[in-house]
A and B are shown apart, each in its own frame.
Chain A
């Protein structure tokens, strides 16, 4: 069965630095990959979608890469701010609207 790993349960970085989160997957060939942000006690909020034929996507301070050979996606937040502190989830799509979620990385940006 498919397996999705976000290899850091928690990540602490200093304000202003770039945060890099990793999502690896196995036994799977997703048509697309999405990243979500989840704050405590709230539902996830969509951030970015990248398709299998795209290598990189940007949105403001966010950048996502997708390497289907390595079966890996990297999620970068540049010039990080304390307000970026949250749990970030990667999710893979099998070609329908259903998604399989990783366990998330809890990011803390230290002022």
Chain B
């Protein structure tokens, strides 16, 4: 089955530093990947749609300069949280689906728990 690998699973960083999270589709190509943020006992909130070879599409209220997304290949998207602050602490999850398959289920990574001290 389709596997999405997300790394790291946990990261603790100091306020003001930047953190990069990687999302890889291991056995399929994905022209589009999605980045979500999830707070405890809340649903997944879509942050941005990552498009291979072009700029990401950000949801309303998400700062594109703070959450940098790069989708350089059909199997890799990265999310960089720049100048992290404690309020950025959250669970970040990426997802992808095989390219060009309409209505196909999303395959999720196992998430990254970010703690900013």
Contacts and interface: CB of A to CB of B under 8 A. Distances in A.
Nearest to B45: A101
B52 to A, nearest CB: 13
B54 interface: no
Contacts of A103: 41-43
A110 interface: no
Contact of B108 (A41, A43, A51, A97): A43
Contacts of B105: 34, 46, 49
Given A41-B111, A43-B109, A98-B49, A93 B103 contact: yes
Interface string B28-65: 00001010000001111010010000000000000000
A32 B103 contact: yes
A42 interface: yes
Contact of A43 (B6, B43, B49, B103): B6
A99 B36 CA distance: 11
Q: Which of B6, B49, B97, B108 has the most CB of A within 10 A?
A: B108
Interface in B43-92: 43-44, 46, 49, 91
B111 A43 contact: yes
A89 B34 CA distance: 17
Interface in A94-109: 97-104
Interface of B: 4, 6, 32, 34, 41-44, 46, 49, 91, 93, 95, 97, 102-111, 113
The 5 A-B residue pairs with the shortest CB-CB distance in the complex, in nearest-first order: A43-B108, A46-B105, A103-B43, A101-B43, A101-B44
5 contacts: A34-B105, A42-B110, A42-B111, A43-B108, A43-B110
